[in-house]
Amino acid sequence: MLISKIKNVFIGNPLTMDKLEEERIPKWKALAVLSSDALSSVAYATEEVLIPLSLFAVTAMAWSIPMAIGVAVLLMIITLSYQQTISAYPHGGGAYTVAKENLGETAGLVAGAALLIDYILTVSVSVSAGLENIGSAFPFISEHRVLIGVLIIFTIMILNLRGLKESSNVFAYPTYFFILSVLLMLIVGGYKILMGIAPMVHPVVHEAYPEVPLFLLLKAFASGCSALTGIEAISNGVPIFRKPSQHNAKVTMMWMTVILGSFFLGITLLAHVYGIVPVHGGETVMSQLARQIFGQNIFYYATQAAVALILFLAANTSYADFPRLTSLIAKDRFLPRQMSSIGDRLVFSNGIIGLTFSAALLLIIFKGSTHRLIPLYAVGVFLSFTLSQSGMIIHHLKTKAPHWKKGLMINGAGAITTFMVLIVIGITKFALGAWMVIILIPTLVLFFKQIKVHYLAVGHQLARDSYHQDLTKEGNEVFVAIVPISGIHPGVVKAVRYALTISKDVRVCYVDIDKDATAKMLKVWDKWSQGLPLEILESPYRSVLGPLLTYIDKVHVESGSEMISVVVPEFITKTWYHQFLHNQMTLVLRTALRFKPGKVVTSIKYYL
């Protein structure tokens, strides 16, 4: 098909499941894929600390260094806490899995909703911040930042649809280019100060700090906590590491913490000493600092390019974790089941596409402004932090595994500190936009639960014993009837009985996309089918439509039948909008067979 050929050009040929192990990545690539979000935050975190302080008074910016130290201490506490999570939950899932298993279903859904919002915001914030940094050097970029931002998001989507292994190859080198660029800036900036080449506008340590309202200090600290976004990504994505996965994830997380902490402290220190003042809506702090240190030369432009690249690629952290999280939630039947399907390139394609459209919409709504998006950012992050660490406390008390007391103390400290920061962020950022996230999280949880209620109701009706009926019916020999099924329920019974009334040559088929599910299906079929054979169609690339179309063509040729009737069992939900939560195989088949002669698609409807 033409569509398949076009798809293969953009995202590559399908991969079989036996290639899954080859898609795992080493530590140095995982650092780029899973830490780019956290590392990129140093490009705007210092600025977010300085903005509220500078609006009060320029002298108030002296508090930026104590704020940065506080954030660095919090970073270390959270890192040690998530090391415990990696040990306890090596299969990933992060806060959602930990909270659901230890604090209950609702707590897990709250953590899941907070993380999903965080991942969407990560993409929007990263891309908008990257464009703002480029706009500092090339002002004409700012005029079209929304359009350019949307194009960048869709480019990242295509790269991720090609698979984790290929996307990590693309994203690794810009990440290390950024690390080297910032490291060079910090070294040169520090050297110039020590050698007296550059003037020391402000001292590193002040004998007396200016009086600043406590609320303003808390607001600056809350803004600085944006540097901590994304540090949970490694614990969520343990399965993508090469074996030994847990060990490699822990090592990578420590690498990330050391780099992130030192960069954030270093940039904040140099910005203070060099007297950098943030310009709201103008040149970024990173751009001003690089210009002061390097001058208007190739090193300045290289630093700006590196910052822009890491900000763009920070979105990739979300593309690594968002689809995996949605697949876990979907497997628990709180999201449409299509989100749990693995695509052609062994990634959760539907999750990647969903993330892309959500982030692009958010970028358009907020007109690509990083400062307008940031207040929405940290609430979900620290809510998931708090629930994860609280869940780990319960985990330690339940399991009492070796060294559990040490883990209890670490996670206890993590839960207390992240909860305190959550309260601070909620209060200080409420009027700036955090109220939207506070409302959106419970709304999403309610949405998740309604989906689960629907799936349970559908499952209850489809599990009725009314399909135990006699299939012996006279049929027509003129053409073959093919009945594709995905399980056994009353709708399938009606479809098979109908097929037996119109043909004596009935072929029931089932596409094997999951070996365990196929084995269960065969057991049920043997008990129910009264000897009617079941054709198992192999599908190494997990496609349902491809093997089915191939089988239909094969039967048509081999049977010599004038007509092939494809009888599709279809259940109709009580309300029209519930239909979007289920596969539309009848519509897909009818479209695919529309221009093929001798093929008829019949839908046998079962109304719930």
The amino acid that residue 388 corresponds to is S
- Model confidence at 230, pLDDT cuts 50, 70, 90, reads confident
Q: Where is mean pLDDT largest: 6-10, 167-171, 205-209, 554-558?
A: 554-558
Q: What is the mean pLDDT of the chain?
A: 82
473 shares its domain with 602:
yes
439 shares its domain with 520:
no
Pull the structure tokens for residue 399. 């399991």
Q: Give this prediction's pTM.
A: 0.76
Q: Which of 400, 431, 452 is the last residue of a domain?
A: 452
Pairing of β 534-538 and β 599-607: unpaired
Report CA torsion sign: 223, 108, 436, 348. Answer: positive
Please tell me the distance from the alpha carbon of residue 327 to that of residue 350, in angstroms, as a whole number.
9
Please tell me the distance from the alpha carbon of residue 305 to that of residue 286, in angstroms, as a whole number.
11
- The pLDDT, as a whole number, for residue 277 is 84
CATH number at 89 reads 1.20.1740.10
The amino acid that residue 484 corresponds to is P
- The pLDDT, as a whole number, for residue 514 is 82
Is the pLDDT at 259 greater than 90? The verdict is yes
CATH number at 495 reads 3.40.50
Q: Which of 397, 418, 452 is the last residue of a domain?
A: 452
Supply the range of the domain harboring residue 582: 465-607
- Could you give the number of structural domains in the chain? 2
Is the pLDDT at 409 greater than 70? The verdict is yes
pLDDT digits over 436-455, tens only? 888 889 999 999 999 999 88
pLDDT digits over 108-161, tens only? 999 999 889 888 988 888 888 778 767 766 777 777 788 888 898 988 888 888
Q: Is residue 117 part of a domain?
A: yes
pLDDT digits over 513-523, tens only? 888 888 888 88
Nearest Cα to 305, choosing from 131, 46, 183, 121?
131
339 shares its domain with 379:
yes
SS3 content of the chain, % helix, strand, coil (to 5): 70, 5, 20
445 shares its domain with 473:
no
Q: Is residue 3 part of a domain?
A: no
Q: Is residue 10 part of a domain?
A: no
321 shares its domain with 441:
yes
- Model confidence at 239, pLDDT cuts 50, 70, 90, reads confident
- Model confidence at 399, pLDDT cuts 50, 70, 90, reads confident
Is the pLDDT at 475 greater than 60? The verdict is no
Q: Report whether 324 contacts 348 (CB < 8 A).
A: yes
The amino acid that residue 120 corresponds to is I
Q: How far apart are the first and last CA of the chain?
A: 34
pLDDT digits over 358-380, tens only? 999 988 888 777 667 766 767 88
Q: Is residue 1 part of a domain?
A: no
Tell me the average pLDDT across 414-431.
83
Supply the DSSP symbol for 442. Answer: H
Please tell me the distance from the alpha carbon of residue 503 to that of residue 500, in angstroms, as a whole number.
5
- The pLDDT, as a whole number, for residue 469 is 59
Please tell me the distance from the alpha carbon of residue 434 to that of residue 245, in angstroms, as a whole number.
36
432 shares its domain with 475:
no
The amino acid that residue 402 corresponds to is P
Q: Is residue 434 part of a domain?
A: yes
Q: Which of 420, 452, 484 is the last residue of a domain?
A: 452
Q: Is residue 298 part of a domain?
A: yes
442 shares its domain with 470:
no
**pLDDT > 90: percent of the chain:** 13
Strands (E), 364-512: 480-485, 506-512
34 shares its domain with 131:
yes
Please tell me the distance from the alpha carbon of residue 472 to that of residue 469, in angstroms, as a whole number.
9
445 shares its domain with 562:
no
Q: Is residue 460 part of a domain?
A: no
Nearest Cα to 10, choosing from 150, 160, 162, 169?
162
347 shares its domain with 476:
no
- Which phi and psi angles does 506 have, rounded to 5°? -105, 125
Strands (E), 521-587: 534-538, 564-572
Is the pLDDT at 37 greater than 60? The verdict is yes
DSSP assignments along 75-138, one per residue:
HHHHHHHHHHHHHH-TT--HHHHHHHHHH-HHHHHHHHHHHHHHHHHHHHHHHHHHHHHHHHH-
- Which phi and psi angles does 468 have, rounded to 5°? -80, 80
513 shares its domain with 440:
no
Nearest Cα to 414, choosing from 86, 65, 73?
73
- The pLDDT, as a whole number, for residue 371 is 64
348 shares its domain with 485:
no
Pull the structure tokens for residue 357. 């459209």
- Which phi and psi angles does 167 have, rounded to 5°? -65, -35
Is the pLDDT at 280 greater than 80? The verdict is no
- The pLDDT, as a whole number, for residue 520 is 87
Q: Is residue 554 part of a domain?
A: yes
Helix residue ranges per DSSP H, 195-297: 214-224, 233-236, 245-273, 285-294
- The pLDDT, as a whole number, for residue 474 is 52
